[in-house]
């Protein structure tokens, strides 16, 4: 690591160039936004940014490694299945959201800034799927985390500002934790390759390896860092704040793509075989899945509801990852990625639909609501949808009670998406019909969610598709949705409708008290007066001088000075004798 | 006619001739001074070259060898002091040319200043070259009377009181020195330093003589606690006189003290006496610095600084005297003290000259009035700052070299106390010199009267002195080697 | 030489006079006692075989110093409004000083008593006397062997004079030196002043002339000449010179200048202040002559004091 | 030639320094030409030397000081790192200062002392012995003072007093340490390991503590940092000099020299003094950040930020592991680039828009976009945002901390990162999202004032983004450690 | 031990020195100090001369005699300057003592 290999041409990467281009291209697009001629309508550039990534994902090159030793501490990029899949998903979502944004954001504030940071966020988001070394990963992760701040804050309303403030505080906290975790791992492995880092975190104690406590600390910090992004409870609180505050296309990418950066981080970095960690993640993840639903049901903002749904879904994914780690099961980790992919498309479609609801009337609106219902069902795992495949893929990771919980989580998922549907149906229409650029992406994303899992099944799961046609699987897929419909029916039944008052939980639930506490802490720190020495005051010095001055007055008369001279003679004589 | 005789004759007589000429021709003072400077400088240069190339010069006056005659001896030490004196006197007299200019009619102070100043120079040179204790006495008396006269030259009540006060110490010092010399002669039949070195033992007579000489010279050198006369005397005199009094005069009595303890009576120097002298020096450093901190007049600050700085010099006794004399570090300690004496002479003279120019510009030397003086006298303030650097012992200056050498010696000798005192004194010096400097750099008060202009040429003299003090530090190697020439005691050796 | 009763008595009287001079209350009486003391000391010098010193002590130590002290006392009494009384109580410093002085006295006495065998330079002087150009060993030492001391000493006198002149008031500068004639014409002093100068002049010149062979010399002679001048002025026969007077200044510096020139000439002999034995005799005489002139002028001016403002006259 | 070059490099600063004093105030053309010319020539010489030293050439120049004691100028990789930094930043700061001051008074004095400071810094960098180091170190102290009090108002004078109040006792401590050490071992050359074992452990520990006190003032270690914030009274180019080009860097550089070239890692470990120093540095990092958080003035906040950031270098040096040193050394450069950017920008804010307090920053992003962007770059780099410069140093120091058995260091790093964010982000927030009270657009002119900020701002991205490049500061730091400090 | 003349005068000189030192230090009036100074001086000379006269065979040593004469002249010069200073000071200060020795300004002895 200390002496990277030298390139013949400085900065020119070794290996395939395309992955580097995937990352550089959006940056160039972002920079273009600042060019005078383009500055007026930079939003139009947005769809261009993810195109190379999408092409790369579609091309599906063989596993290859690209190195750029001069950049950062030596950039290494790889294209493995999981990474490419999620890369493709991410690129697609960003493309869709970008197209959507052209229509949605007619007169945005500071379009150039928005475009620039959109592209920067995108770069980071793509980078996490390609990175094979910790520093590149970290840089990408930081880019996606921090640049997204500008997407959240874009509207500039007080609400947006507050949400963004909390978002950035948490993001930086997460970054810091992650950095420490990485640093420990790098120190333990003396390497930057993610694979080595992973290995060192479970390496048995011994010469040249990390102390178990350090390993534990690193793992914990990595979980905190990525969990924060992935909305792992109780670190989820930014999601319900940021999503409603951000412009809709931004919400879509936040929930559909950016959150996945945390997921890929957990998958990439957590070492297999860490049983305790895995179990812990499983517990927290499942708990998240349920609690988030309960919290989400109390919300009345469409995007907040969706955000809690994301938290819930990600809980599930994290539980899968936990299970995979605990069981040292790479298949489970792959499945988690698969599940995340489906969720990404579905959630992107759902978020984008929020904007569509306001501009759709008549039959189109009914079709839209039906589509939303179908997507919701897919997420809940309705057989035949892409979501069912996703559920099926992750289930082998669980058994017993956990499996039951996973299956039953469909109830919550359905409920919360029903809540969305109900709330969405109440949205008042402001415009006559939707622009194609808004409708198109929603449809495309929805279709991707429903269909792509079918296409990719074979890549992720060795089992034949036929397995899904089994009765057990069908029942498992349907009953939670039915239960949910039942509950919803009861709740919405005339006698109860409008009577049930959930507790008034603010968006972001625990965010408010935490925020108050943080503000109080900062204020306390700010007002603290440290004992800084300021001793250079003359007056104090002068006090020291007073005795000297008195002595000086005493010595001045000759009778004293002369006597002292005589005394000195005697003393010198005595000292010499 | 030999070059060394010519050099010595020039150095000894040129200032005296100059003084007599100035006494005769009242209004030609500056011109006579210039001629004196040239002649003395020429002699000094020749002497330096001779010492550097051939070693210490020895000359029996009238051809009478000791013990009958008086011996002149010019070793590296003497050469260093003579050269420094020439430099300092040159600068002082250059600045003095204006306030003490001849004019149409003869004025009292303008008349007496020049012969007095030149006599002072002559007395200094006589002392630095003399190898005979009684001859040193006469030279010392000449120096003292001239110095007293210069203190009182302003003719104000305070300056006369200061002169009288100085006179008391000086008279006492002279008598005690004479007593010591008489006892030494009575015991050993000679006052030649080289001969005494062989004869002085530790008989009661020697001890009483040493005690009397030490007491007398300490009073003249203004070693604490005999310094009471110094601040009023040095601050009351006109600036060029102060510069001589502070920069040069105390060095002469110190020089004799050095010659006495290191050359005439090295065996007598017990650790008790050496520690006593060093201790008083240390006390003087702290005490003088503290009082300097509290003064509100620039010249008083500089004067108390002299009290403090003279204290440094006495570290030479514990570090290079007695049993230390034969140790490897003695060379460093000895040279360090000499470096200090020389660089202090230049820096202190420069400071007093600066103070004089400031007084010319603003009419007084009270600190608050100095605010913003840098605008009117940039070179002067810069010179003052450079001199301050030397006094603080900061590199690269002669003061630093001195401090470095003495500190090294004190650690090597296992007496780090002196080193710590040196550091402390440097800090205190920084503190008391900082005040005037900071004020000089501050923005002037808006209602302050505009300072009078002072010509650049005159500002250059103190700057040259301050630069010389700095140069002494940058080019330490040559002077270091030079003042080792003929050094008593251990052989010349480098620092370990 | 064994001490006689005379010596003992002399010592006791000296001590008594010194005690009166230093410890007495009245300043004027102290000065008077001091003059007496000076004369007694001069006698002691005679007893110690040092006639040159005795002469010098009588002329300078007792005479001139006494005159200076008296004159100063008079002027101070005129000018100082009040006189500080001497200490009524005996403070601790006084006792301590007395103790310290006593200890030092004992120390000196002890040192004197324990002096090693004398190693005087009588032998050296005698050996080189012939080459010195003087027959009186003291003169030989003063003007040849240790001529540099003497040269400096003559300059010390000038330095003192310069110092005194420095104390003039600015407006008085250039005027006549301070001492005025203080006698009425026809008084004893005035008469004395008429008779003394010729005699004094003779004595002075003789002292210088004799100095090279017998006791006496430039300083003693110069003192006598100065005294003559002083008395003449006190008697009102002459006016004190103006300090700006060229002739006066020339007289003041001529001795040291010639002496210095002689010293510089030594470089041609490869040394400093060399009196070639062949010429030493007349050189010494010449130097003594000019030195006497300068010393006389200087001593007189020392007594006259700084010039004083004209209008006060 | 090998003896001449170091002297020449010194002369390129000294000659302009001395000559500038004699140039009349009105003669701006000559003055600027002299200073810029000196800076450019210096840079050229250094580039030449960089290549030569990378190839293994050694440059040495000796001058006898007193017998047995030499002033030694010696160019090794470490000196070059520092000297390159200061030379580059000197050039930029000179350009900036010329534009910043315009026709203000006392400029000859300013530029004279400024060049003198750089001269002293170069001397520090090239010093081959302890005594040489000390002499230039003190020269730096002295030549800085006139710059600190340049404005001559009361605040500046107080600041100057405070500066000397800290700096001079420190130099005393340093001198005692040096002399104590050398009295036992003889003159110490950095390149040759002296046998410090001639002294006992306790003495060595005291000496080390004295070194810490002596260098700690310039490096602004708590509690010796008090002068730095008050020195903010000086004009912006001076702040740039204090914080980036010369002064604090000299202290930090001194720590590296003392630990690696005087004591040596082994002895430091044996004496167990590295850990306390690392802890002190850590306390400083945290304390400085906390104090920064409390400030309401931009420059004060930046000053405390420096207090905090410079201790990273000390921390890296004190940890005494290869990675930590690399991080520390790289941070020497990184911090310099970032902090000088910040100060350039703070100066522009102040000079062009009168913005001094943080609450005046509201909405300035739209009014002064270039300045604001550069400021943001610097601030984000300070936080350690990848891929900006600060991030790289942090990673290395953190790794070094763990490898040296001081894993708590990463806690410090994390806390510091958070605190940095806490005091920088609100500023950025105000700049970009604050409500502007005033819509005027103060010009970011002349180019000289903004171009240096842009260059350093971009550089602080570049050194992080291309840290792996062979010529990056990090690579150079690695070279230093591999060549000189690895067994 | 036989009391020789030189011994006697030497001791006398020592006593004079002591007496003079005491007077020199304790007197407030400057003239009295100058007087005491002269007493010390002559005491030293006497001591010096007596020491030179210890060797009755060789006679008095001329070198000390010359030195003493020089000393006497030097003492006279000093006395003259000191007295002139005292007079000049008295003219301006109206006092024969230095300010710090003046009774009125002396805190130790505030008696009227």
Q: What is the pLDDT of residue B178?
A: 95
Pick the range with the lowest mean pLDDT from C306-310, D179-183, D344-348: C306-310
Q: How far is CA A109 from CA A244, B494, D373, E67, in A?
A: 17, 77, 18, 105
A564 and A488 within one domain: no
- Residue A95 makes CB contacts below 8 A (sequence gap 6+) with A47, A50, A51, A54, A441
Q: What is the pLDDT of residue B90?
A: 94
Residue B471 Cα, gap to closest chain A Cα (Å):
32
Q: Is residue C131 part of a domain?
A: no
- Percentage of chain D lying above the pLDDT 70 cut: 99
Q: What is the mean pLDDT of residues A26-50?
A: 77
C2 and C69 within one domain: yes
Q: Is residue A86 part of a domain?
A: no
Q: Is residue A463 part of a domain?
A: yes
**Phi/psi of residue B366, each to 5°?**
-75, 140
A577 and A436 within one domain: no
Subunits touching D (CB < 8 Å, at least 3 pairs)? A, B
A560 and A437 within one domain: no
pLDDT tens digits for range B466-482: 999 999 988 888 888 88
Instruction: Grade residue B279 by pLDDT with cuts at 50, 70 and 90.
Output: very high
Q: Is residue A190 part of a domain?
A: no
Distance CA A433, CA A442 (A): 14
C61 and C9 within one domain: yes
pLDDT tens digits for range D415-438: 888 888 888 888 888 888 877 777
Instruction: Grade residue B92 by pLDDT with cuts at 50, 70 and 90.
Output: very high
- Asked if the Cβ–Cβ distance from B426 to D149 is below 8 Å, we say no
Residue B197 or residue A501, greater confidence:
B197
Which H or E run includes A425? helix A400-425
Residue A4 confidence (pLDDT) above 60: no
Pick the range with the lowest mean pLDDT from B18-22, B461-465, C137-141: C137-141
Q: Quick check: bond before D446 cis, omega within 30? A: yes
pLDDT tens digits for range D89-108: 989 999 999 988 888 888 88
Q: Is residue A12 part of a domain?
A: no
- From C86, C119, C152, the end of a domain falls on C119
Residue of A nearest to C106 (CA): A570
Q: What is the pLDDT of residue B495?
A: 40
C150 and C265 within one domain: yes
Residue A140 confidence (pLDDT) above 80: yes
A423 and A281 within one domain: yes
Among B241, B235, B60, CA closest to B159: B235
Residue A531 or residue D352, greater confidence:
D352
Q: Which of A6, A139, A533 sits opposite D226 (nearest CB)?
A: A533
Residue A217 Cα, gap to closest chain B Cα (Å):
49
C96 and C23 within one domain: yes
Residue E87 Cα, gap to closest chain B Cα (Å):
10
Q: What is the pLDDT of residue A511?
A: 72
- From C119, C150, C166, the end of a domain falls on C119
Q: What is the pLDDT of residue D233?
A: 81
Residue A59 confidence (pLDDT) above 90: no
Q: How many domains does chain C have?
A: 2
Q: What is the pLDDT of residue A2?
A: 41
A471 and A382 within one domain: yes
Instruction: Grade residue C90 by pLDDT with cuts at 50, 70 and 90.
Output: low
Domain region containing A552: 543-577
A–B: how many Cβ contacts below 8 A? 83
- Percentage of chain B lying above the pLDDT 90 cut: 52
Instruction: Grade residue A7 by pLDDT with cuts at 50, 70 and 90.
Output: very low
pLDDT tens digits for range C259-285: 999 999 888 887 888 888 888 888 888
Residue B362 Cα, gap to closest chain D Cα (Å):
19
Among C272, A234, C107, C236, CA closest to B6: C272
Q: What is the pLDDT of residue A498?
A: 65
Distance CA B426, CA B262 (A): 27
Residues in chain C within 8 Å Cβ distance of B17: 257, 260
Subunits touching C (CB < 8 Å, at least 3 pairs)? A, B, E
Residue A530 confidence (pLDDT) above 70: no
Q: How many domains does chain A have?
A: 2
Tokens of B267: 């065996």
Q: Is residue A211 part of a domain?
A: no
Q: What is the pLDDT of residue B217?
A: 94
Q: What is the mean pLDDT of residues A466-477?
A: 73
Chain C contact present for B73, CB below 8 A? no
A548 and A494 within one domain: no
- Asked if the Cβ–Cβ distance from E46 to C44 is below 8 Å, we say yes
3 state DSSP class of A57: helix
- Percentage of chain A lying above the pLDDT 90 cut: 2
Residues in chain C within 8 Å Cβ distance of A559: 93-94, 97
Q: Is residue C126 part of a domain?
A: no
Q: What is the mean pLDDT of residues D164-180?
A: 90
- From A468, A500, A532, the end of a domain falls on A500
Q: Which of A563, A569, A573 sits opposite C97 (nearest CB)?
A: A563
- From A469, A500, A531, the end of a domain falls on A500
Chain C contact present for A570, CB below 8 A? yes
Q: What is the mean pLDDT of residues D42-59?
A: 86
Residue B95 or residue E59, greater confidence:
B95
Residues in chain E within 8 Å Cβ distance of A556: 100
- Please give the mean pLDDT across all residues of chain A: 80
C239 and C145 within one domain: yes
Chain E contact present for B175, CB below 8 A? yes
Is residue A115 within 8 Å of A43, Cβ to Cβ?
A: yes
C166 and C21 within one domain: no
Domain at C80, CATH number: 1.20.120.1200
- From A500, A533, A562, the end of a domain falls on A500
- Asked if the Cβ–Cβ distance from E74 to B141 is below 8 Å, we say yes
Residue B409 confidence (pLDDT) above 60: yes
C285 and C162 within one domain: yes
- Residue A359 makes CB contacts below 8 A (sequence gap 6+) with A429, A430, A431, A432, A433, A434, A435, A438
C154 and C100 within one domain: no
Q: Is residue C132 part of a domain?
A: no
Chain A contact present for C86, CB below 8 A? no
- Asked if the Cβ–Cβ distance from E77 to B155 is below 8 Å, we say no
C144 and C7 within one domain: no
Q: What is the pLDDT of residue D27?
A: 83
Chain B contact present for D176, CB below 8 A? yes
Residues in chain C within 8 Å Cβ distance of E25: 97, 101
Residue A169 Cα, gap to closest chain D Cα (Å):
8
Residue of B nearest to E63 (CA): B68
- Asked if the Cβ–Cβ distance from B26 to C159 is below 8 Å, we say no
A445 and A391 within one domain: yes
Residue C11 Cα, gap to closest chain A Cα (Å):
25
Residue of B nearest to C247 (CA): B24
Is residue B214 within 8 Å of B185, Cβ to Cβ?
A: no
**pTM for this entry:** 0.88
- Percentage of chain A lying above the pLDDT 70 cut: 92
Subunits touching B (CB < 8 Å, at least 3 pairs)? A, C, D, E
Q: What is the pLDDT of residue A542?
A: 64
Q: How far is CA D408 from CA A200, C219, D290, E4, in A?
A: 19, 91, 19, 91
Q: Is residue C129 part of a domain?
A: no
Residue A553 confidence (pLDDT) above 90: no
Q: Which of D165, D323, D398 sits opposite A180 (nearest CB)?
A: D398
Query: Which ipTM score applies to this complex?
Result: 0.87
Q: How far is CA A534 from the centre of its chain?
A: 46
A474 and A349 within one domain: yes
Residue C197 or residue B211, greater confidence:
B211
Q: Domains (ranges, CATH) in chain E?
A: 5-99 (1.10.287.3510)
Q: What is the pLDDT of residue A547?
A: 83
Residue C155 confidence (pLDDT) above 80: yes
A549 and A496 within one domain: no
Q: Is residue C130 part of a domain?
A: no
Q: What is the pLDDT of residue A185?
A: 85
A549 and A490 within one domain: no
- Asked if the Cβ–Cβ distance from E78 to B178 is below 8 Å, we say no
Q: What is the pLDDT of residue A529?
A: 62
Q: Which of A559, A566, A573 sits opposite C101 (nearest CB)?
A: A566
- Asked if the Cβ–Cβ distance from E100 to A556 is below 8 Å, we say yes
Domain region containing C46: 1-119
Chain C contact present for E42, CB below 8 A? yes
- Please give the mean pLDDT across all residues of chain B: 89
Q: Which of C37, C49, C83 sits opposite E53 (nearest CB)?
A: C49
C156 and C73 within one domain: no
Residue D444 confidence (pLDDT) above 80: no
Chains C and B touch (3+ CB pairs under 8 A): yes
Per-residue tens of pLDDT for chain E, all 112 residues: 467 888 899 999 999 999 999 999 988 889 999 999 999 999 999 999 988 888 777 777 889 999 999 999 999 999 999 999 999 998 888 888 888 877 543 434 333 3
pLDDT tens digits for range B430-454: 889 988 888 888 888 877 788 888 8
Tokens of A9: 């041409």
Q: Is residue A533 part of a domain?
A: no
C205 and C105 within one domain: no
Q: Which of E24, E98, E106 sits opposite A562 (nearest CB)?
A: E24
- Asked if the Cβ–Cβ distance from A559 to C107 is below 8 Å, we say no
Q: Is residue A491 part of a domain?
A: yes
Among A21, A101, A13, CA closest to A53: A21
pLDDT tens digits for range D271-316: 888 889 999 999 999 988 888 888 888 888 998 898 888 999 999 9
Q: What is the pLDDT of residue B11?
A: 94
Residue E81 Cα, gap to closest chain A Cα (Å):
18
For testing contact with chain E, the best of A549, A551, A558, A560 (most E CBs within 10 A): A558
Instruction: Grade residue D165 by pLDDT with cuts at 50, 70 and 90.
Output: confident
A320 and A433 within one domain: yes
Instruction: Grade residue C79 by pLDDT with cuts at 50, 70 and 90.
Output: low
Instruction: Grade residue B378 by pLDDT with cuts at 50, 70 and 90.
Output: confident
- Asked if the Cβ–Cβ distance from A527 to D323 is below 8 Å, we say no
pLDDT tens digits for range E75-102: 999 999 999 999 999 888 888 888 887 7
Q: What is the mean pLDDT of residues D332-361?
A: 89
Q: What is the pLDDT of residue B143?
A: 95
- Asked if the Cβ–Cβ distance from C103 to A559 is below 8 Å, we say no
Count the neighbouring beta carbons within 10 Å of the beta carbon of residue C187: 13
């Amino acid at each position: 690591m200390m002496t990277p290999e030298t390139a013949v041409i400085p900065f020119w990467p070794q290996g395939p160039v395309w992955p580097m281009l995937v990352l550089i291209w959006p940056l160039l697009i972002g920079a273009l936004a600042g060019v005078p001629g383009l500055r007026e309508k930079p939003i139009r550039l947005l769809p261009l940014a993810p195109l190379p990534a999408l092409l790369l994902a579609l091309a599906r090159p063989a596993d290859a490694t690209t190195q750029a030793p001069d950049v950062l501490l030596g950039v290494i990029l790889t294209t493995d299945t999981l990474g490419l899949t999620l890369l493709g998903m991410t690129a697609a979502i960003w493309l869709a959201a970008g197209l959507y944004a052209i229509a949605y954001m007619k007169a945005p504030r500071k379009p150039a800034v928005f475009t620039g940071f959109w592209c920067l966020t995108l770069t980071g988001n793509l980078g996490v799927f390609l990175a094979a070394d910790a520093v590149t990963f970290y840089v990408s992760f930081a880019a996606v985390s921090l640049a997204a701040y500008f997407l959240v804050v874009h509207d500039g309303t007080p609400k947006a500002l507050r949400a963004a403030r909390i978002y950035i505080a948490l993001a930086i906290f997460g970054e810091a934790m992650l950095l420490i975790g990485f640093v420990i791992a790098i120190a333990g492995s003396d390497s930057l390759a993610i694979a080595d880092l992973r290995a060192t975190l479970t390496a048995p104690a011994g010469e040249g390896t990390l102390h178990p406590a350090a390993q534990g600390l690193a793992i914990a910090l990595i979980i905190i860092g990525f969990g924060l992004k992935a909305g792992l409870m109780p670190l989820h609180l930014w999601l319900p704040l940021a999503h409603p505050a951000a412009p809709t296309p931004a919400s879509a990418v936040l929930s559909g793509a950016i959150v996945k950066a945390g997921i890929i981080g957990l998958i990439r970095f957590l070492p297999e075989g860490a049983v305790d960690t895995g179990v812990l993640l499983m517990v927290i993840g499942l708990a998240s899945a349920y609690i988030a639903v309960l919290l989400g049901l109390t919300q009345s903002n469409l995007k907040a509801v969706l955000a809690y749904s994301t938290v819930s879904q990600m809980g599930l994914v994290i539980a899968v990852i936990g299970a995979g780690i605990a069981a040292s099961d790479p298949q489970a980790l792959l499945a988690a990625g698969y599940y995340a992919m489906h969720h990404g498309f579905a959630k992107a479609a759902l978020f984008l639909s929020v904007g569509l609801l306001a501009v759709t009337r008549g039959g189109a609106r009914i079709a839209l609501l039906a589509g939303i219902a179908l997507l919701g069902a897919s997420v809940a795992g309705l057989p035949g949808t892409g979501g069912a495949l996703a559920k099926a893929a992750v289930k082998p990771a669980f058994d017993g009670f956990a499996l039951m919980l996973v299956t039953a989580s469909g109830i919550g998922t359905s409920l919360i998406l029903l809540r969305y549907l109900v709330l969405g149906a109440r949205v008042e229409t402001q415009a006559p019909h939707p622009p194609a650029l808004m409708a198109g992406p929603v449809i495309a994303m929805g279709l991707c969610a429903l269909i792509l899992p079918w296409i990719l099944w074979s890549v992720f799961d060795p089992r034949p598709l036929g397995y899904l046609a089994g009765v057990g699987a069908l029942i498992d897929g349907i009953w939670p949705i039915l239960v949910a419909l039942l509950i919803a029916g009861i709740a919405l039944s005339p006698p109860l409708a409008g009577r049930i008052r959930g507790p008034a939980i603010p968006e972001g639930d625990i965010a408010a008290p935490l925020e108050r506490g943080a503000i109080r802490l900062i204020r306390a720190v700010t007002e603290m007066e440290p004992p800084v020495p300021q001793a250079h005051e003359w007056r104090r010095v002068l006090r020291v001088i007073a005795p000297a001055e008195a002595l000086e007055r005493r010595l001045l008369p000759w009778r004293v000075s002369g006597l002292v001279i005589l005394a000195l003679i005697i003393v010198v004589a005595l000292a010499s004798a | 006619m030999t070059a060394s005789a010519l050099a010595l004759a020039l150095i000894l007589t040129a200032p005296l001739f100059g003084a007599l000429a100035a006494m005769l021709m009242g209004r030609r003072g500056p011109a006579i001074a210039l001629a004196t400077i040239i002649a003395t400088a020429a002699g000094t240069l020749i002497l330096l070259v001779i010492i550097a190339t051939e070693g210490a010069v020895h000359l029996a006056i009238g051809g009478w060898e000791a013990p009958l005659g008086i011996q002149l001896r010019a070793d590296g030490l003497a050469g260093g002091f003579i050269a420094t004196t020439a430099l300092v006197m040159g600068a002082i007299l250059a600045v003095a040319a204006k306030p003490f200019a001849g004019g149409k009619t003869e004025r009292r102070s303008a008349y007496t200043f020049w012969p007095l100043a030149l006599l002072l120079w002559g007395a200094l040179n006589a002392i630095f070259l003399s190898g005979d204790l009684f001859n040193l006495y006469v030279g010392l008396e000449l120096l003292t009377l001239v110095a007293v006269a210069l203190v009182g030259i302003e003719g104000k009540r305070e300056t006369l009181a200061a002169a009288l006060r100085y006179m008391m110490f000086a008279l006492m010092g002279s008598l005690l020195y004479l007593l010591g010399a008489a006892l030494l002669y009575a015991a050993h039949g000679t006052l030649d330093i080289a001969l005494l070195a062989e004869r002085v033992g530790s008989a009661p007579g020697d001890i009483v003589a040493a005690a009397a000489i030490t007491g007398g010279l300490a009073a003249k050198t203004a070693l604490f606690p005999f310094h009471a006369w110094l601040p009023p005397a040095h601050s009351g005199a006109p600036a060029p006189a102060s510069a001589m009094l502070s920069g040069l005069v105390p060095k002469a009595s110190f020089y004799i003290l050095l010659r006495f303890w290191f050359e005439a009576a090295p065996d007598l120097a017990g650790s008790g006496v050496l520690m006593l002298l060093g201790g008083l020096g240390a006390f003087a450093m702290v005490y003088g610095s503290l009082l300097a901190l509290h003064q509100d007049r620039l010249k008083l600050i500089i004067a108390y600084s002299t009290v403090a700085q003279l204290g440094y010099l006495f570290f030479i006794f514990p570090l290079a005297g007695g049993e230390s004399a034969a140790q490897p570090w003695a060379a460093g300690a000895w040279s360090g003290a000499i470096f200090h004496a020389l660089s202090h002479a230049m820096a202190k003279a420069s400071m007093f000259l600066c103070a004089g120019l400031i007084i010319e510009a603003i009419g007084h030397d009270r600190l608050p009035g100095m605010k913003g003086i840098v605008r009117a006298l940039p070179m002067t303030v810069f010179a003052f700052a450079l001199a301050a650097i030397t006094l603080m012992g900061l590199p690269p200056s002669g003061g630093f070299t001195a401090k470095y050498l003495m500190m090294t010696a004190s650690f090597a000798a296992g007496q780090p106390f002196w080193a710590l005192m040196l550091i402390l004194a440097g800090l205190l010096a920084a503190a008391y010199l900082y005040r005037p400097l900071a004020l000089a750099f501050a923005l002037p008060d808006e209602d302050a009267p505009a300072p009078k202009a002072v010509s650049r040429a005159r500002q250059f003299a103190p700057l040259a002195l301050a630069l010389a003090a700095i140069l002494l530090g940058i080019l330490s190697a040559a002077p270091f080697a030079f003042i080792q020439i003929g050094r008593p005691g251990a052989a010349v050796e480098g620092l370990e | 030489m064994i001490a006689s009763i005379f010596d003992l008595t002399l010592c006791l009287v000296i001590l008594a006079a010194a005690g009166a001079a230093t410890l007495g209350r009245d300043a004027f009486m102290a000065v008077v006692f001091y003059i007496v003391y000076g004369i007694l000391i001069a006698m002691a010098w005679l007893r110690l075989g040092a006639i040159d010193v005795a002469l010098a002590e009588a002329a300078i130590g007792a005479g001139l110093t006494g005159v200076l002290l008296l004159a100063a006392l008079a002027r101070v009494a005129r000018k100082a409004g009040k006189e500080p009384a001497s200490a009524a109580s005996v403070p601790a410093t006084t006792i301590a000083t007395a103790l310290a002085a006593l200890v030092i006295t004992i120390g000196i006495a002890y040192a004197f008593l324990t002096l090693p065998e004398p190693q005087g330079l009588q032998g050296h002087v005698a050996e080189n006397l012939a080459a010195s150009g003087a027959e009186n060993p003291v003169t030989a030492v003063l003007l040849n062997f240790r001529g540099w001391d003497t040269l400096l000493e003559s300059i010390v006198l000038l330095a003192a004079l310069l110092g005194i002149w420095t104390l003039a008031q600015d407006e008085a500068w250039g005027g006549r030196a301070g001492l005025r004639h203080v006698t009425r014409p026809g008084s004893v002093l005035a008469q004395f002043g008429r008779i003394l100068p010729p005699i004094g002049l003779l004595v002075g010149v003789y002292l210088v002339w004799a100095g090279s062979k017998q006791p006496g010399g430039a300083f003693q002679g110069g003192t006598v000449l100065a005294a003559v001048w002083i008395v003449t002025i006190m008697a009102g026969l002459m006016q004190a010179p103006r300090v700006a007077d060229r002739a006066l200044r020339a007289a003041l510096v001529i001795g040291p200048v010639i002496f210095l020139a002689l010293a510089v000439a030594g470089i041609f002999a490869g040394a400093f202040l060399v009196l070639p034995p062949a010429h030493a005799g007349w050189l010494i005489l010449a130097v003594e002559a000019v030195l006497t002139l300068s010393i006389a002028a200087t001593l007189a001016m020392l007594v006259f004091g700084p010039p004083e403002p004209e209008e006060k006259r | 030639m090998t003896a001449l070059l170091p002297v020449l490099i010194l002369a390129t600063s000294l000659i302009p320094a001395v000559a500038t004093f004699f140039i009349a105030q009105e003669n701006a053309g000559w003055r600027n030409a002299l200073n810029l010319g000196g800076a450019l020539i210096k840079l050229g010489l250094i580039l030449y030397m960089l290549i030569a030293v990378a190839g293994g050439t050694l440059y040495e120049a000796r001058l006898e000081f007193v017998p047995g004691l030499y002033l030694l100028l010696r160019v090794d990789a470490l000196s070059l790192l520092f000297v390159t930094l200061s030379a580059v930043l000197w050039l930029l700061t000179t350009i900036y200062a010329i534009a910043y001051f315009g026709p203000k008074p006392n400029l000859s004095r300013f530029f004279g002392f400024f060049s003198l400071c750089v001269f002293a810094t170069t001397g520090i960098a090239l010093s081959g012995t302890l005594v040489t180091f000390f002499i230039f170190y003190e020269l730096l102290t002295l030549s800085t003072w006139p710059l600190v009090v340049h404005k001559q108002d009361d605040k500046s004078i107080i600041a100057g007093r405070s500066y000397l109040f800290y700096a001079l006792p420190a130099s005393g401590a340093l001198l005692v340490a040096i002399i104590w050490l050398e009295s036992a071992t003889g003159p110490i050359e950095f390149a040759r390991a002296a046998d410090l074992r001639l002294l006992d452990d306790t003495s060595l520990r005291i000496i080390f503590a004295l070194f810490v006190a002596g260098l700690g003032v310039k490096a602004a270690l708590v509690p010796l940092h008090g002068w730095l914030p008050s020195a903010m009274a000086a004009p912006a180019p001076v702040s740039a000099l204090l914080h980036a080009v010369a002064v604090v860097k000299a202290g930090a550089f001194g720590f590296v020299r003392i630990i690696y070239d005087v004591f040596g890692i082994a002895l430091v470990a044996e004496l167990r003094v590295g850990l306390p120093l690392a802890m002190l540095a850590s306390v400083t990092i945290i304390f400085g950040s906390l104090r920064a958080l409390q400030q309401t003035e931009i420059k004060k906040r930046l000053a405390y930020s420096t207090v905090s950031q410079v201790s990273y270098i000390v921390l890296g040096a004190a940890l005494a592991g290869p990675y930590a040193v690399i991080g520390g050394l790289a941070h020497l450069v990184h911090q310099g680039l970032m902090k000088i950017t910040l100060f350039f920008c703070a100066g522009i804010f102040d000079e062009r828009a009168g913005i001094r307090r943080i609450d005046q920053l509201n909405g300035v992003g739209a009014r002064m976009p270039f300045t604001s962007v550069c400021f943001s770059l610097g601030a984000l780099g300070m936080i350690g945002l990848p891929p900006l410069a600060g991030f790289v140093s942090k990673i290395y120091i953190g790794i070094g901390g763990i490898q040296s058995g001081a894993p708590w260091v990463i806690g410090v790093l994390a806390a510091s990162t958070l605190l940095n964010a806490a005091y920088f982000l609100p500023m950025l927030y105000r700049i970009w999202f604050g409500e502007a009270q005033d819509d005027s657009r103060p010009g970011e002119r002349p180019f000289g004032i903004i171009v240096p900020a842009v260059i350093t701002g971009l550089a602080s991205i570049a050194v992080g983004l291309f840290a792996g490049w062979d010529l990056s500061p990090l690579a150079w730091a690695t070279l230093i450690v591999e060549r000189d400090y690895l067994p | 031990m036989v009391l020789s003349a030189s011994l006697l005068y030497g001791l006398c000189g020592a006593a004079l020195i002591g007496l003079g030192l005491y007077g020199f230090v304790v007197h407030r009036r400057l003239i009295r100090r100058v007087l005491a100074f002269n007493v010390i001086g002559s005491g030293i000379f006497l001591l010096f001369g007596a020491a030179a006269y210890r060797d009755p065979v060789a006679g008095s040593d001329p070198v000390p005699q010359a030195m003493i004469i020089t000393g006497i002249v030097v003492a006279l010069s000093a006395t003259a300057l000191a007295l002139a200073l005292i007079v000049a000071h008295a003219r301006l200060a109206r006092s024969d003592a230095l300010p710090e020795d003046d009774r009125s300004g002396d805190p130790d002895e505030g008696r009227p």
